[in-house]
Amino acid sequence: MYSDKAVIDVKNLSKRYDIYDHPRDRLRQLVIPRLHGLAGRLKLAKPENPPTYHREFWALRDISFQVKPGETLGIIGRNGSGKSTLLQILAGTLSPTSGDVKVDGRIAALLELGSGFNPEFSGRDNVFLNARILGLSQRQIEERYDRIVEFADIGDFIEQPVKSYSSGMFVRLAFAVQAHIDASIVIIDEALAVGDVFFRQKCYARLEALRDSGAAILLVSHAMTDIEQFCDRAILLDHGEALFVGESTEAAKRYYQLHQPKLAERIGAAPVDASITRPVTLPSATRADFWPEDTAFVNAESVNQVGNGSARCTRYGVFDTSGNRCASFAQGETAVFCYEFLLSDPIAIPLAGVVLQNERGINVHGKGSLEYSTKTPQHLPAGTLVRCRQSVELKLELGEYSFELGLATIDAKTYHEMANFNHERIFSHISRVCHLPKAGVIAVGWRRVHDGAPLTHHGVADLPGAFEYAFDAVATE
């Protein structure tokens, strides 16, 4: 059991930079206000405010949070939001303008590739140099050297000058040193994005071990999947301000919401060009085989929702194929998710879907009307009630899964021509309207009846495929 005492305690932290348009303005700012003050004291001039020759830029404004042992905190935001400034202050390489920062423990900070490395030294020499800077004794380094080299896995390059390393080799060695100094606080700023998949797996396994031992971890990443999977909580920064501090899943959704294209740019007062209109016939939202009884639903009004105000989820429920409310399924059975949104603003083509996360925070399934190419109108007016029915065959490993529900919108032109676009182009045209980061939990258990193996598969998901045998007799002498 870890201590409840915070290893990082930040209160009302702010950082200001003075921006000068010309180098001479810096000298003016240093000298003229002092002369102005002296003249005022000697009564040679009226005591007025001295002139200024710079602009103030606040990289951070009034940031407060705590991190406790064994906790992983994500720090997210677009470039220029203040993430790196915050990490440098926590690491002690930068001083705050105001506020209090208390850090209790040894810090391992991987803020830049090879920071603290001498490019002229060999990898071996830099291991000893960097580890000594981080507080290890010569004997401790010697005891851990083989483990560091094995973790870095750069072969004979360990004896070569670091200036000859690729960026991937740089970060391998830098992380290997940082991961073996027994730090109580580990700070990582995007560094793991450089390594290959095998190295990243090794790094995250090591971070898990450090966290299990009680180390606090701060992770900066633009990969929201990493933030949701690995972090307990996250801070969303924007222009130096903390817009949200809380559960990492919600922080990620707010990040997308904050920086998505404006909804007004994705819709119009009138339907789009008739040349891309495709008439659709949709099922009635009140059909008994489409929509369960009202009493079976969860009222979503009290559930946390992230949105832009254009829609709100009113209710939802999880059912079996007979229409009964259900939260526990056998492996391979089908769960039916029914959920509805009430539009307060018009939207273009609606996109709705379900995401399932396992106990480790990994998205094991995310799919919706976009991937199914579901028939849909190209424009929905305000006041529309959007009802969604989605079936998911639970070919998953046994365990509990949280589920998310969401509604977004995309312009009709992009939707009807998406076969010509890559994922990034399509994604850039999607506006998130309403999202329920933690709507509920379902369980997947053993199959009740089976005519073969009790499990349909091993691992996270059951992938479609086939298996065949062929046998030949082997000739013997």
Q: Could you tell me how far CA 361 lies from the centroid of its own chain? A: 11
At 63-78, the pLDDT tens digits run 999 999 999 999 999 8
Q: Enumerate the domain spans of the chain.
A: 65-252, 263-273+290-445
Q: Which CATH code, of 3.30.70.1350, 3.50.50.60, 3.30.750.24, 3.40.50.300, is assigned to 65-252? A: 3.40.50.300
At 415-428, the pLDDT tens digits run 888 888 888 888 88
Question: Does 266 have pLDDT greater than 80?
Answer: no
Instruction: Look over the chain and give the mean of its residue pLDDT values, rounded to a whole number.
Output: 84
Dihedrals phi, psi of 468, to nearest 5 degrees: -140, 150
CB atoms within 10 A of CB 170: 24
Does the global pTM surpass 0.85? no
Question: Does 48 have pLDDT greater than 80?
Answer: no
How far, in Å, are 7, 13, 15, 65, 85 from residue 100 at the CA level? 13, 6, 11, 11, 15
Q: For the sheet with 233-238, list strands across it.
A: 107-110, 185-189, 216-220, 72-76, 233-238, 241-247
How far is residue 383's CA from residue 388's CA, in Å, rounded to a whole number?
16
Which pLDDT score is estimated for 268? 45
Q: What is the largest CA-CA distance in the chain?
A: 118
Q: Which amino acid is at 472?
A: D
- Spell out the residues 6+ positions from residue 137 whose beta carbon is closer than 8 angstroms to its own: none
Which pLDDT score is estimated for 270? 40
Percent of the chain with pLDDT over 90: 41
How far, in Å, are 140, 157, 165, 316, 383 from residue 338 at the CA level? 58, 57, 54, 6, 19
CB atoms within 10 A of CB 225: 12
Query: Higher pLDDT residue, 272 or 98?
Result: 98
Question: Does 451 have pLDDT greater than 80?
Answer: no
How buried is 126 (Cβ within 10 angstroms: 0-12 exposed, 13-18 middle, 19+ buried)? buried
Question: Does 304 have pLDDT greater than 80?
Answer: yes
Q: Tell me the three-class secondary structure of 44-96, residue by residue.
A: CCCCCCCCCCCEEEEEEEEEEEEECCCCEEEEECCCCCCHHHHHHHHHCCCCC
At 145-198, the pLDDT tens digits run 999 999 888 888 999 998 898 878 888 888 888 888 878 898 888 766 666 677
CATH code assigned to 263-273+290-445: 2.70.50.60
Task: Give the single-character DSSP code of 161.
Answer: B
Dihedrals phi, psi of 202, to nearest 5 degrees: -65, -40
